Amino acid sequence: MIRHVLLAAALGLALGAGCRGSAGDSDEPAEPIDLSAPRPTALDDRIDDKPGFIAALTPKQSFEVMAPYTSASARLAVKLGDTVTKDQVLARLDDRQLRQELDAARAQQRTALAALAQAEVDKRGAETILAREKSAEAAGVGARADLVSARQAVDKATAAIAVARATADERATRITQLQAHLAEMTLVAPIAGSVALIYPQDGARVEEGHPIIRVISGGVDVKFAIPADKIGSIKPGDTVDVSVERRPGLLTATVGHVSPELDAVAQMIIADADLVNPPADLQPGTVCRILPRPRAK
């Protein structure tokens, strides 16, 4: 009993949010098929006895659009199930504080540029005085102290220009950062697909690094759990049958990747399979079962 519960829980974690069965499903997964026992010959027997491995349909491509920064609110531009194109706007985060910071940074940059211009004027004036003092000393009518003072004024003006230029560059860098930050407050679709999940309510506060919207695309795959005592019964390349919940008959799939690592707690491994000619109306999250086929002797 405990092993079965752990098996279902671990598979649920591997498949991600949204993969749930119908309200009438049992909470306990069925006992996996014993491949050493004779297989039932009737299709109804195979499905009614719930053999095989618990599985679920998962999207081939799935992207979580995350909040790049904490924001007081998120205004959604799409609804659940909407079809979206790549780079389409999905949501806009509250950027009022950012805009205020950007305005302040631009004002600081203007001040820095004005200080730079003043420093350059001061240097030109100091250089004019220095040239005059040099001529006076050469003519024997200038004091040595005045010449030294004029040179110091030029050096001081040169240093002021360097400080003002560095400050202006710093303000420009800050503006670039804020503009990039502001652009990231508009969340866009990373791929063409459909909106599978919206995490916050429209207008709700969002935290940095938390998911906002999930976009899926590319059809569906099958992920399934193999208990520890059945390891080796399924291998990459095997052809298996897939019994999909609320759908008559069986689909065919080819086993792709089988995890090499056993989950120490759940005592199972996760595998996936590619459906062969899947129907177009399959929905991600649908519960199904993998039914291994007998191996040829």
- Given a contact cutoff of 8 angstroms between Cβ atoms, the answer to whether 248 and 117 are in contact is no
**How many Cβ atoms are within 10 Å of 293's Cβ, its own excluded?**
11
What DSSP string describes 62-127?
EEEEE-SS-BS-EEE---TT-EE-TT-EEEEE--HHHHHHHHHHHHHHHHHHHHHHHHHHHHHHHH
Residue-level pLDDT at 138: 84
Q: State which CATH number among 2.40.30.170, 3.65.10.10, 2.60.40.770, 2.40.100.10 fits the domain covering 2-93+192-292.
A: 2.40.30.170
Residue-level pLDDT at 296: 66
In three-state secondary structure terms, 225 is: strand
User: Domain residues of the chain, as ranges?
Assistant: 2-93+192-292, 96-184
Intervals of the chain under pLDDT 50: 1-10, 13-48
